[in-house]
Amino acid sequence: MVVSIWSTTKIAFRALWVNKMRSALTMLGIIIGVGSVIAMLAVGQGASEKISEQVASMGSNLLIVMSGSVTSGGLRMGSGTQMTLTLEDAYAIERECSAVVAVAPMLNGVAQVVYGNQNWATAVQGTTPGILEVRDAALVSGRPLTDQDIRAAAKVVLLGQTVVDNLFGSLDPVGQIIRIKKVPFTVIGVLEKKGQSVVGQDQDDLAYIPVTTAQKKIIGTTFAGMVRTILIKARSAEEMDRAERQVNDLLKQRHRISPKGEIDFSIRNLTQMLQVAEQSTRVMTLLLGAIASVSLLVGGIGIMNIMLVSVTERTREIGIRMAVGAKTWAIRMQFLVEALTLSLSGGVIGIILGVVTSEILSRLAGWTTIVSPLSVILAFGFSGMVGIFFGFYPAYKASLLNPIEALRCE
């Protein structure tokens, strides 16, 4: 039995080798299909990974509390148009919400930063020492903000890498004096590079100063102690919903909002944003993979077409094999092996093509591409299924030929 299968396989390979050009052209559809599937899935997986990294760069387990809409004189103002949050709100959240691990109130604006004869317009953000933990940020040099800096409204600043590059070049900025709105500040630290956010914003083009300094000297507030947003880090991803509920209940209590009253703040959950973004990229990946899979089906139809032609051309050969005792299953196996060989050979070459294409896209277009082992296995397995599916009918047709009529065929 094993000898018969081996001899049948050798006959199938010999038949393919005799028609090398036709076999190569037949495999082309499978090669393109498998290569396209792998490349498209790599692009989609890379996009998903990139979005996850960008959201994570903003801070893990992050909640953002924003000043909400308010009504004044019958006019309803949009969200964030008027500051309704205070520094005390932030301290209360950190003190009373057990699901929260760190809090950073924010009072932000844009200002011209000057050093010597260099200047740069950047985002100046008044905050507290908790900002580094909330944003998962680190310093490459210098020291962080301290509680003493907040209490004293100290004129100290942490700079992002973009600001450092534009003001200082290769010079060490720590200890240098810069001017923000003509107010002198001492640079006490440089933030680690974070890159772009999900919306394409440069996260390194900023300057952190004590929130009290921002309130009194740089940005100012209508009422003392007001902040624009509060960034909150939950203890874990599992605690996000509980942290959001605790913050919501606490702020309603502090702002004396009745059950039917208008809420003057809003809470955004970045984990939900990540889930939405990942779902979108997953749909895009599946769509790209489905479009690329059409090439595999076209390649399978090509295999069926060539195998039917092959059966017609080799009718006399089939008749001779049957006349000398070849079984029906042996004839069927021969043509199935031929179809499977074409499909799997094309699959292997397609995998190589897909990996190479992914690398080229990554290098030339600057796209993040990730070739996962699962996509390779799926593409290769699907190419094998295509070979069996589209090779079965020609093999079945060949096995049903009448030996006598086959021998008469010229």
Q: What is the pLDDT of residues 216-230, one digit of tens each?
A: 888 877 677 788 899
Burial zone of 224 (CB within 10 Å; 0-12 exposed, 13-18 middle, 19+ buried): exposed
Reduce the secondary structure of 142-206 to three states and give it as a string: ECCCCHHHHHHCCCEEEECHHHHHHHCCCCCCCCCEEEECCEEEEEEEEECCCCECCCCCECCCE
The pLDDT of residue 59 = 56
179 and 283 in a single domain? The answer is no
The pLDDT of residue 51 = 67
| Domain containing residue 241 | 85-263
Cα–Cα distances (Å) from 352 to 208, 348, 358, in that order, read 49, 7, 10
pTM above 0.75, yes or no: no
Q: Is residue 133 assigned to a domain?
A: yes
Residue 357 corresponds to which tokens in the numbers above?
């294409």
109 and 233 in a single domain? The answer is yes
34 and 138 in a single domain? The answer is no
Query: Cα–Cα distance between 335 and 9 in angstroms, integer?
Result: 9
Q: Is residue 208 assigned to a domain?
A: yes
Q: Is residue 71 assigned to a domain?
A: no
207 and 130 in a single domain? The answer is yes
Containing 331, the helix (H) or strand (E) segment is helix 328-360
Which of 209, 237, 263 lies at the terminal end of a domain, its last residue? 263
93 and 45 in a single domain? The answer is no
Query: Cα–Cα distance between 273 and 51 in angstroms, integer?
Result: 10
215 and 356 in a single domain? The answer is no
297 and 194 in a single domain? The answer is no
Q: Is residue 80 assigned to a domain?
A: no
The SS3 call for residue 268 is strand
pLDDT tens for 127-178 read 999 999 888 888 999 999 999 999 999 999 999 999 999 999 889 999 999 9
Which of 238, 263, 288 lies at the terminal end of a domain, its last residue? 263
Tens-level pLDDT at each residue, the chain (410 residues): 443 556 656 666 676 677 777 777 777 878 888 888 888 788 777 777 776 666 655 556 888 888 875 555 444 444 545 678 889 999 999 999 999 999 999 998 889 999 988 999 999 999 999 999 888 888 999 999 999 999 999 999 999 999 999 999 889 999 999 999 889 999 999 999 887 765 567 888 999 999 999 988 888 776 777 888 999 998 887 888 899 899 999 998 888 888 777 788 888 877 666 666 667 667 777 776 677 677 777 777 777 777 777 766 666 666 666 666 667 777 777 777 777 777 888 888 888 888 888 888 888 877 778 887 877 887 788 777 877 777 777 776 666 666 656 555 55
Name the domain count of the chain: 2
Which of 205, 234, 263 lies at the terminal end of a domain, its last residue? 263
Spatial CA neighbour of 33 closest among 404, 402, 379: 379
The pLDDT of residue 188 = 95
Q: Is residue 270 assigned to a domain?
A: no
Length of the chain: 410
243 and 326 in a single domain? The answer is no
The pLDDT of residue 2 = 41
Say how many CA atoms lie within 13 Å of 380 toward its Cβ. Answer: 13
Q: Is residue 271 assigned to a domain?
A: no
Containing 108, the helix (H) or strand (E) segment is strand 100-115
The pLDDT of residue 385 = 81
Asked whether the beta carbons of 194 and 131 are under 8 A apart, the reply is no
Q: Is residue 152 assigned to a domain?
A: yes
Containing 101, the helix (H) or strand (E) segment is strand 100-115
The pLDDT of residue 240 = 85
The SS3 call for residue 242 is helix
297 and 255 in a single domain? The answer is no
